[in-house]
Amino acid sequence: MILLSSSSGFFPPTKQLFLSKSTSGLQLKEFARKNAANVLSVANMLMGMASILSSLNGHQYAACWLVLIGYLLDLADGAVARRLNACSALGAKLDDFADFTTFGIATSLLLTTESLLDNLLCMCYVLSVFTRLCFFSSGIPFMYRGLPCIYSSAILACVSLLSGGNMVVLRVTAVAMILFMISQSFYPHDRVLESQAWKKVVYAGGIAMVFCSSFPPACVYYLLWSMSYILFPASLWSCKV
């Protein structure tokens, strides 16, 4: 077999194989870059689905912690997308679907009982999350209108864990969170992983607390974190990249 030189436009089979592998490697890296944030959004959605199944099977403790893991994933996906310059319309839709699954449906099931009023409260909570996701735009850069549902869900999950599922406490908390979500108050875009170092430390602490889920202080940690966003949104959580 006669091999033509590279100057004539052809390469030996070994050269062609090397170029093919190199091209495939570049394509794989590009695919990973574009979809890294989408993987986190899908993981968030899976946490929500697992939480729903846990609630339906009476495993309230697991359902709450799955919501809190979704909380961490949701804070990370946007940061990863911006870091890798991989923001897209598909990513935004996946993020909304994941948020509605985890912080809407899964969280609302923490409120369900055999009572009709509790089930109505559950429906109202889902509707408030739906409204919040549809009309969150404030027209002001780096600002939300209404409390982001991720924080209301984290607070409900923590209250459920700390109170042992006390429905009176959960009802009062849920009503308060609904009012915060549908309010016209402004909240900052909390780019936790793209801001001051102490915020990254807080996030790292949240990851560590997942491994200490059997201890009440872990729930208190998430509760204080989420409550600080409501009480001190501008002074603590304003976006300072």
Digit-coded pLDDT (tens) for 83-96:
888 778 888 889 99
Domain membership of residue 91 as a residue range: 14-237
Whether 49 is covered by a domain: the verdict is yes
Number of domains in the chain: 1
How far CA 241 is from CA of 19, 188, 204, in Å, comes to 40, 13, 18
Domain CATH code at residue 21: 1.20.120
Task: Return the pLDDT at 51.
Answer: 97
Q: Rounded CA gap, 40 and 157, in Å?
A: 21
* Mean pLDDT across 149-157: 96
| 190 located within any domain | yes
* Section 119-125 average pLDDT: 96
Q: Are 70 and 103 in contact (CB under 8 A)?
A: yes
Report if residue 150 sits inside a domain.
yes
Q: What's the predicted TM-score (pTM) here?
A: 0.86
